[in-house]
Structure formats: structure tokens, C-alpha cells
């Protein structure tokens, strides 16, 4: 039934950058469901900033493909959510418009970069949300805020309209409190789009099943190593134990390419970002370039003033890594490393159906705790392999450690998002 809903939330967590006070909606599968959209996804007529000053005031003249599908399903788009600027971060503290707070503990971060979407869902302000995941940006905040978040297989959800950070790694994905809602939202947004040349003809039409009898689960030693907090590891192991009770078998395995997976990730994403973000020159959109200055002076000024330090750092890293003489050492090597990660997963998936482990090595950090960029990057170690390989990965809440939510991560073979959803569903149904 078409209609409209009123949306005037008490956004004490700073989850939203823009809200639609009256959100109209059509009829369809998600008729009237309040859905929040991460602010790096283009929404026609609604300001889209990527949480950056350099896009303040930008109003896209078109909808992202996934947003169009959302509207067609009858969903009510209630607002645009806060994020780390251009997706660069693991805490949403890199937003130019203030951090989002974790509804479970406002002294802590909600995770990133889809922190606003996670907080909006966790706090009950929106039933569902769209996030994006380049190196863990859906799964990390899902884990930190205690909700469900899926990074689909690469190519299953169109990227047309997603303001690019790292084209070869990122996907738009569904976030919600329950696996069923995540699955329903996935059903709406997945499918082929002729505007996205990396898009696959793999529509999603699945009802989650809780049957995991006979399922073989790989447990990688690298996911329970020294870098993972003992409390987190313990909670996740119990969760996996639950799956065993339900009829699954666990098999130890190893992903040797994890050794350089994070380096491969950061080289790839910074290189692609340095190219993707070069278009923001204040000429066609964004805060005005000073036309009284010369081109290069004006361009530098726009970028210096419009991008935050983390964005500028990554652009410089990427520029350096692509510069003359370094391409072979960095970007080319990173693609080989990715192929090795893919091969490792293929080898493991010949023997098991899914891989399980913690989503994040710790619980949510305290605000301002991660001030050093490199130590922040290292927190992505458990999430980036799925992006490098393009495989589906979900985070489902599996308990608490030190009072904060912990996420269980399930990864599956390429295009077996349905199976990954099923395993998460089985666990969720068993404990609720």
C-alpha cells in the first residue's frame, strides 16, 4: 500500500546526516518499511555528501540503481546515514560532520565506515539500512553494534550510483536486526544492472533455511591467532559450537595469504581511491573553486580544504603507489596477492562449505582510541580477505564480551550468499 511515513527521530547518536521528515513510499514487498541509506549512495534530489565537506550541497540528479530498486519495492527512504569520509575508516570518526556514537555504549564507536547505518538500525530508528563494504565497512559496524550485516558476492548488487572509493573491492549490502530482514532487503537490491559492467546476472530470491545438518565449517587458524582478543575469540568459539550442536562439522584450515592480505587491500584501495577522488574540483559540483585563481592553485585549495586528513593521506599513498616506477612493486603485486587469496579460498572451499570466525579482532573501540592510522588499518585484518576474493560474508551477533556485542562472521563461496545467510539464520534461530 502506497503512502507516507513521518520520520522525526531523536538522533542522539548522530546516525543521520540528512532525514526525510515525510518519506513517501509505494507499494511492494517492502511497502512502508523505513530504510536508511548510507550517504555515499546517490539519491536523486537528496543531498549526498559521503560525509565530506567537498560534497556539501551536492544533490545527485539520479538514483543509484539499488536505490531505484528500493523505491520500486515500496520502501520509505527515511534519510542518509553518517559514515567515515568516502568510506575511509573503521570507526565513523573520520566523518566531516562528527562521529556517530554506538547505541550500545555512547563512549564507544559504532564501527565503520557504515557506522551511521548500523547505529540507525541498532537504535531502532530504521528497520533496515543500506551500507557499503570495501574492507569490512558493513560487517564491522554490524559486529560492533550488535546487528546483522551482509557483504554480498562482488557483482551481485549493482554499484551504479555508489560513489566510488575502491571499485574492485566494494559492494552495497543490507543491514538489519534480523537475518530475515537482511535477506529480504538483499532480495530487493540484488540482480543484473546493464549500467554496471561488473554486475552479474545473479538475482537473489531466497527464504532463509535453518538447516545446517552435514554442513562443513572451516575454522582458519589465522582468525584465532595472537591478534584476536581472547574474550572475542571465546564468544565466537561458543557460537561455532552452537552450529556444531545443530549438525555442522568444523574442520581446521589455514589461509597463508593472510600474511599480506591487508597490505594488498590497502595498496589496492588507496590506488583506486587516488584516481576516483581526483574529480572533486569544485567546478561541476561541491563547494566552489575560486575561478579567480589559476587552475592548479584553485584545485589544490579545494582538495586541501574539502578533504579530511585520512582521505588526503590515502590519496597520497595511492598516488605514490601508482607513480612511475612503483606500479610493479605495489599495485601489480597487490593483484597477484589477491589472486593468491582467491586461490587459498578455492582450495579451502573444495573441502568445506563455509568459513567461520570473528568479524573483528576486538569489541568496539572507545572514541578517539585508534588515533594512529596504521593500528586502525590492522583492525580490518579479518574482514578484508572476503573483499579481496569477492566472496560473500555476513556478520551476525553472537554474544557479548565486556558488555559489548561480538560478531560471528560466516564466509562462503562466490555467489553462495544464500548459504551464508542460512548459516547465520540457523545460528540466530537457535539462540533466540
Partner 1 sequence: MADADGQVIVGLEVHCQLDTKSKLFCGCSTDYRSDGANTHVCPICLGLPGAMPALNKKAIQYAMRVAKALNCEILDESEFSRKNYFYPDLDKAYQITQYDKPLAEGGYLEIESDEGGEKRVRITRVHVEEDPGRLVHMGNVERGKYSLVDYNRAGIPLIEIVSEPDMRSPKEARKFLNKLRATLEYLSVFDSEKEGSLRVDANISITGSERVEVKNITSYKGVEKALTFEVTRQKNLIRRGQKIERETRHFLEARGVTQAGRSKETENDYRYFPEPDLRPLRVKSWVEDIVLPELPDARRERFIKEYACSLNHARTLTGELKLANFFEQVVAADRQGLSSLASTWIADTLIGELNYRDMGIDRIDAAGFTGLVRILKEGTITDKSGIEILRVMLDQRQKGEPIETAAGIVKRLNLAKTSGDAGAITTAIEEAINENPKALEDYRNGKAGALNFLVGQVMKKTRGKADPGELNRLLLEALKAREA
Partner 2 sequence: MVSEKDVQHIAELADIGIIPEELGTFTHQFNAILEYFDTLDRVPGDTTFTRDLYNVLREDVVEPSLPHEEVLRNASAKEDGFIKAPRVM
Chain residues that interact with partner 2, rule: CB under 8 A: 57-59, 61, 155, 194, 197-198, 200, 259-260, 262-264, 266-267, 274, 278, 281-301, 303-305, 307, 309, 312-313, 315-317, 319-321, 323, 329-330, 333-337, 339-340, 342, 372-374, 377
Check binding of 37 to partner 1 (CB under 8 A): no
d(CA 124, CA 118): 10
Nearest alpha-carbon partner for 228 in 136, 363, 110, 109? 363
Would you list the DSSP string of 239-254? HHHHHHHTT-EEEEE-
Beta strands in 28-110 (DSSP E): 34-38, 76-81
Q: How far is the CB of 310 from partner 2 (least distance, A)?
A: 10
Q: Which is nearer to partner 2, 230 or 374 (CB)?
A: 374
> Could you say which of 118, 164, 175, 381 contacts partner 1 (CB under 8 A)?
164
Check binding of 275 to partner 1 (CB under 8 A): yes
Check binding of 160 to partner 1 (CB under 8 A): yes
Check binding of 281 to partner 1 (CB under 8 A): yes
Is the backbone peptide bond immediately before 113 cis, with ω within 30 degrees of 0? yes
| 3 state DSSP class of 397 | strand
- The length of the chain in residues reads 432
Residue 334 contacts which entry, partner 2, partner 1, none (Cβ below 5-8 A, type-dependent):
partner 2
Q: How far is the CB of 274 from partner 2 (least distance, A)?
A: 7
Grid cell for residue 117: 547505518
> Could you say which of 8, 214, 226, 284 contacts partner 1 (CB under 8 A)?
284
d(CA 331, CA 340): 14
Sites for partner 1 among residues 309-368 (CB under 8 A): 319, 322-324, 327, 331
Sites for partner 1 among residues 56-85 (CB under 8 A): 58, 60-62, 64
Beta strands in 106-167 (DSSP E): 128-133, 148-151
Q: Which is nearer to partner 2, 245 or 290 (CB)?
A: 290
Give the CA distances from residue 240 to residues 109, 127, 268, in Å, rounded to whole numbers and listed in that order.
26, 27, 32
Beta-carbon contacts of 298 under 8 Å, excluding residues fewer than 6 positions away, are 281, 282, 289, 290, 291
Residue 160 contacts which entry, partner 1, partner 2, none (Cβ below 5-8 A, type-dependent):
partner 1
Q: How far is the CB of 225 from partner 2 (least distance, A)?
A: 16
Using N-to-C axis directions, what is the helix angle for 309-322 and 258-276, rounded to 10°?
100
Q: How far is the CB of 389 from partner 1 (least distance, A)?
A: 15
* Residue 137 falls in the annotated catalytic set: yes
Cα 227 from chain centre: 22
Sites for partner 1 among residues 198-237 (CB under 8 A): 198
d(CA 25, CA 118): 22
Grid cell for residue 67: 536505490
Check binding of 55 to partner 1 (CB under 8 A): yes
d(CA 47, CA 59): 5
**42, 52, 73, 113: the active-site residue:** 113
First to last CA, the chain: 31
**42, 117, 137, 401: the active-site residue:** 137
Residue 37 contacts which entry, partner 2, partner 1, none (Cβ below 5-8 A, type-dependent):
none
* Residue 38 falls in the annotated catalytic set: yes
Contact criterion met (CB below 8 Å) for 200 and 85: no
Catalytic site positions:
38, 113, 137
Which residues here bind partner 1, judged by CB under 8 A?
A: 41-42, 48, 50, 55, 58, 60-62, 64, 159-164, 167-168, 194-198, 271-272, 274-275, 278-281, 283-285, 291-292, 295-296, 299, 319, 322-324, 327, 331
Amino acid at each position: 500500500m502506497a503512502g507516507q511515513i513521518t520520520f522525526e527521530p531523536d538522533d542522539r547518536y548522530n546516525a543521520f546526516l540528512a532525514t526525510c521528515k515525510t518519506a513517501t513510499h509505494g507499494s511492494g514487498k517492502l511497502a512502508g518499511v523505513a530504510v536508511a541509506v548510507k550517504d555515499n549512495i546517490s539519491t536523486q534530489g537528496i543531498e549526498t555528501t559521503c560525509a565530506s565537506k567537498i560534497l556539501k550541497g551536492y544533490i545527485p540528479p539520479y538514483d543509484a540503481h539499488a536505490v531505484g530498486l528500493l523505491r520500486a519495492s515500496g520502501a520509505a527512504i527515511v534519510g542518509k546515514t553518517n559514515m567515515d569520509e568516502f568510506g575511509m575508516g573503521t570507526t565513523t570518526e573520520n566523518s566531516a560532520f562528527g562521529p556517530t556514537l554506538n547505541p550500545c555504549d555512547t563512549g564507544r564507536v559504532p564501527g565503520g565506515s557504515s557506522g551511521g547505518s548500523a547505529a540507525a538500525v541498532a537504535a531502532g530508528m530504521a528497520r533496515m539500512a543500506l551500507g557499503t563494504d570495501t574492507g569490512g565497512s558493513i560487517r564491522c559496524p554490524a559486529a560492533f553494534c550488535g546487528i546483522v550485516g551482509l557483504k554480498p558476492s562482488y557483482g551481485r548488487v549493482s554499484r551504479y550510483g555508489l560513489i566510488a572509493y575502491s571499485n574492485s573491492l566494494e559492494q552495497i549490502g543490507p543491514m538489519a536486526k534480523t537475518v530475515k530482514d537482511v535477506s529480504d532487503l538483499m532480495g530487493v537490491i540484488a540482480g543484473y544492472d546493464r549500467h554496471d559492467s561488473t554486475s552479474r546476472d545473479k538475482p537473489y530470491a531466497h527464504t532463509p533455511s535453518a538447516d545446517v545438518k552435514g554442513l562443513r565449517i572451516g575454522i582458519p587458524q589465522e582468525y584465532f591467532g595472537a591478534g584476536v582478543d581472547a574474550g572475542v575469540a571465546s564468544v565466537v568459539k561458543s557460537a561455532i559450537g552452537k552450529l556444531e550442536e545443530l549438525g555442522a562439522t568444523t574442520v581446521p584450515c589455514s589461509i597463508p595469504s593472510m600474511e599480506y592480505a591487508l597490505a594488498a587491500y590497502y595498496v589496492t584501495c588507496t590506488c583506486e581511491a587516488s584516481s576516483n577522488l581526483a574529480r572533486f574540483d569544485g567546478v561541476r559540483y561541491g563547494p566552489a573553486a575560486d575561478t579567480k585563481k589559476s587552475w592548479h592553485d584553485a584545485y589544490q585549495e579545494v582538495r586541501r580544504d574539502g578533504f579530511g586528513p585520512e582521505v588526503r593521506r590515502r590519496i597520497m599513498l595511492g598516488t605514490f603507489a601508482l607513480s612511475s616506477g612503483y606500479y610493479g612493486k605495489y599495485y601489480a603485486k597487490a593483484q597477484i596477492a589477491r589472486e593468491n587469496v582467491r586461490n587459498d579460498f578455492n582450495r579451502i572451499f573444495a573441502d568445506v562449505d563455509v568459513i567461520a570466525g570473528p568479524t573483528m579482532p576486538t569489541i568496539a573501540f572507545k572514541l578517539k582510541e585508534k588515533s594512529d592510522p596504521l593500528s586502525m588499518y590492522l583492525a580490518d585484518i579479518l574482514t578484508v580477505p572476503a573483499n579481496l576474493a569477492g566472496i560473500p560474508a555476513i556478520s551476525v551477533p553472537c554474544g557479548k564480551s565486556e558488555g559489548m556485542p561480538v560478531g560471528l562472521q560466516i564466509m562462503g563461496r562466490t555467489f553462495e550468499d544464500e548459504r551464508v545467510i542460512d548459516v547465520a539464520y540457523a545460528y540466530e534461530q537457535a539462540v533466540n
